[in-house]
């Protein structure tokens, strides 16, 4: 894997950061197109992109510190807060939504309308983020496997010598399918406000629920704890994955992310039931449907 892409003098360009930057650049460009299509102020795109970036990073880090690394934070608060690791999706989603809501509210534009426009873009941005996880080998891969597409990440940020499920690739594939449907099919239809947001919640909730069966963030810490346990590295990592599996599915056989995914799906269904009977929002000068 390639945690570091290249260096320019003293500056190192990391693969995860590069993919994150691509997500926001492409996302802002697509959002600007959508604002133009709906005759909304295009300068809102830059403000929303910045709000989503800062809110997403802050929310992702706070979620990680509070729920996944309280001991690490207590021992080394500054290193834990300002390290590049530990950016969680649901924390990032909550932070991004809050910051974007504040920006949109100040701009006096309908937040529900903006959320509908951002829905498919969010799914695509998540795929970019998972590409960064794959390139950096940051530890969100799955358990050992003998399947022909299994991969090892010996040079990753969180290395493993075992052949494991390349879970980020699973997520990228599912996200691209979801984005394709939302952007090229559902977006071309005349929809009631909130329907696209509901569909986005459904797509992201289902995607994460499925891939969590082959994704073990908690295995990262188990690997470090057992990597020097007196046996071979491969054997210690096998033990680590066994321990991580039990820790991962600690909520009635589900992971915490799966529980949150169920909540996201339920929210999507409720929004859909409430909003789908409302009058559809017509595109003002239907250009570029």
Is 40:32 a contact under the CB 8 Å cutoff? no
pLDDT category at 228 given cuts 50, 70, 90 is low
Q: What is the mean pLDDT of residues 141-147?
A: 89
Q: Write out pLDDT tens, residues 45-100.
A: 989 988 988 888 888 878 777 766 666 666 666 665 555 555 677 788 888 889 99
| pLDDT surpasses 60 at 225 | no
For residues 199 and 201, give the distance between their C-alpha atoms in angstroms, rounded to a whole number: 5
| Partner residues linked to 7 by β-bridges | 12
Domain boundaries, the chain: 4-40+109-275
For residues 185 and 163, give the distance between their C-alpha atoms in angstroms, rounded to a whole number: 37
**pLDDT confidence of residue 83:** 56
Is 58:95 a contact under the CB 8 Å cutoff? yes
φ, ψ (nearest 5 deg) of residue 149:
-95, 10
Q: What is the mean pLDDT of residues 185-205?
A: 95
| Partner residues linked to 83 by β-bridges | none
| Global pTM value | 0.85
Is 244:222 a contact under the CB 8 Å cutoff? yes
Q: What is the dihedral of CA 224, 229, 232, 235, to 10 degrees?
A: -70
Tokens of 248: 């991962």
DSSP tally for the chain: helices H, then strands E: 11, 4
Q: What is the dihedral of CA 37, 101, 187, 41, to 10 degrees?
A: 0
Q: Write out pLDDT tens, residues 233-285.
A: 777 777 777 777 777 788 888 988 899 999 999 999 999 999 988 988 887 75
């Amino acid at each position: 894997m390639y945690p570091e892409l290249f260096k320019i003098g003293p500056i190192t360009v990391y693969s995860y950061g590069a993919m994150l930057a691509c997500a926001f650049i492409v996302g802002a460009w697509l959002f600007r197109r959508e604002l133009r299509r709906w005759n909304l102020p295009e300068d809102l795109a830059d403000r929303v992109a910045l709000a989503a970036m800062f809110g997403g990073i802050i929310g992702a880090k706070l979620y990680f510190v509070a729920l996944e690394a309280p001991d690490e934070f207590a021992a080394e608060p500054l290193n834990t807060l300002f390290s590049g690791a530990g950016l969680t999706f649901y924390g990032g989603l909550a932070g991004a939504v809050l910051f974007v809501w504040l920006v949109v509210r100040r701009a006096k534009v309908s937040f529900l309308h903006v959320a509908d426009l951002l829905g498919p873009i969010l799914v695509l941005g998540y795929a970019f983020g998972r590409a960064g996880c794959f390139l950096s080998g940051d530890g969100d891969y799955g358990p050992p496997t003998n399947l022909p597409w299994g991969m090892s990440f010996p040079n990753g940020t969180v290395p493993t010598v075992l052949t494991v499920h390349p879970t980020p690739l699973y997520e990228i594939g599912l996200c691209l399918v979801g984005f394709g449907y939302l952007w090229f099919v559902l977006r071309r239809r005349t929809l009631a406000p909130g329907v696209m947001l509901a569909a986005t919640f459904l797509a992201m909730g289902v995607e994460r629920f499925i891939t969590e069966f082959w994704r073990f963030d908690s295995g990262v810490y188990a690997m470090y704890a057992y990597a020097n346990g007196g046996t071979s590295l491969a054997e210690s990592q096998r033990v680590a994955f066994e321990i991580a599996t039990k820790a991962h599915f600690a909520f009635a056989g589900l992971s915490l992310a799966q529980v949150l995914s169920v909540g996201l799906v339920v929210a999507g269904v409720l929004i859909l039931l409430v909003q789908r009977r409302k009058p559809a929002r017509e595109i003002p000068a239907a250009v570029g449907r």
